Amino acid sequence: MIYVANWKMNGDKEFVHSILSEIKDNILPFLSDGSTLVLCPPSIYLSEVNDICKNISIEIGAQDCSAHEKGAFTGEVSAQMISGTGTDWVILGHSERRQYHAENNVILIDKLQAAHNAGLKVIFCVGETHQQYNEGMTRDTLQGQLAILDDTSLVNLNYIIAYEPVWAIGSGLVPKLEEIDIIHQFIKTQRSKKTNLSKETKVLYGGSVNPDNAKEIKSLKSVDGVLVGGASLSSNKFKQICI
Ligand code: PGA
């Protein structure tokens, strides 16, 4: 299982230090064998979190990176800069970036290339809105979002997918277990049709994962892990999700 904590724009220095020591003492030693823990703090804390986690088996991820390599892009952080902090992963295509920062396939393809060039592994988020869900457009929407991975420049991209229905994020709503299972299988099939890899694409579920629903979601064979937002800000809740 892969457990990703997306802290979004939350926490301060003190929070970072205390949650890291709680995760180190109360979660890490109890994770089942073969599990991966990825923590995604705000980019300002990446260096510090990497330093603290240096000799611990916790992987670190950024929540976004610039589409540009360098230059006059005030406020942006490049994939290379992120990688320079020792960070392994970057989340790209999160629905909050798509929604509030108008990130579309054109921008995302550049970001994916930038991440690849910097040697970062990508957690690529896809998901439908409630309207698309109600209109039975989930598969079409996902297909459109996944299509950019077929770009020839991205054949060697190291990525996993996070299926996050937009309407499930932060809402307390979660699709039915069968729906999660069917969509995860759909994503895996889509990707296997497009790649020559014998390896199956890993797919995480994200959207209102909490201690009450994590066990059932994780029990689905098609679920390779979870991407947790709100509940990852409490080490106690995150522990109940991971263990
Ligand atoms: P949530 O967020 O767990 O708070 O719903 C998930 C996410 O946005 O990645």
CB 61 within 8 A of CB 116: no
State residue 197's pLDDT score.
62
State residue 176's pLDDT score.
97
State residue 243's pLDDT score.
95
Whose alpha carbon is nearest atom 7 of ligand 1?
229
State residue 241's pLDDT score.
98
Which mutation among 8, 164, 169 tests ligand 1's pocket best, with the greatest number of atoms within 8 A of CB? 169
pTM to 2 decimal places: 0.97
135 flagged as catalytic: no
Per-residue pLDDT of the chain (243 residues; tens, 9 = 90+): 999 999 999 999 999 999 999 999 999 999 999 999 999 999 999 999 999 999 999 999 999 999 999 999 999 999 999 999 999 999 999 999 999 999 999 999 999 999 999 999 999 999 999 999 999 999 999 999 999 999 999 989 999 999 999 999 999 999 999 999 999 999 999 998 877 666 789 999 999 999 999 999 999 999 999 999 999 999 999 999 999
Active-site option among 59, 94, 96, 128? 94
Whose alpha carbon is nearest atom 3 of ligand 1?
229
Residue ranges around ligand 1 (CB below 6 Å): 6, 164, 169-170, 206-209, 227-231
| Ligand 1 mean position, distance from CA 68 (Å) | 26
14 flagged as catalytic: no
β-pairing, 2-6 vs 159-163, is unpaired
Whose alpha carbon is nearest atom 1 of ligand 1?
229
Which mutation among 3, 10, 205, 228 tests ligand 1's pocket best, with the greatest number of atoms within 8 A of CB? 228
Q: Which of 125, 204, 135 is nearest to 166 (CA)?
A: 125
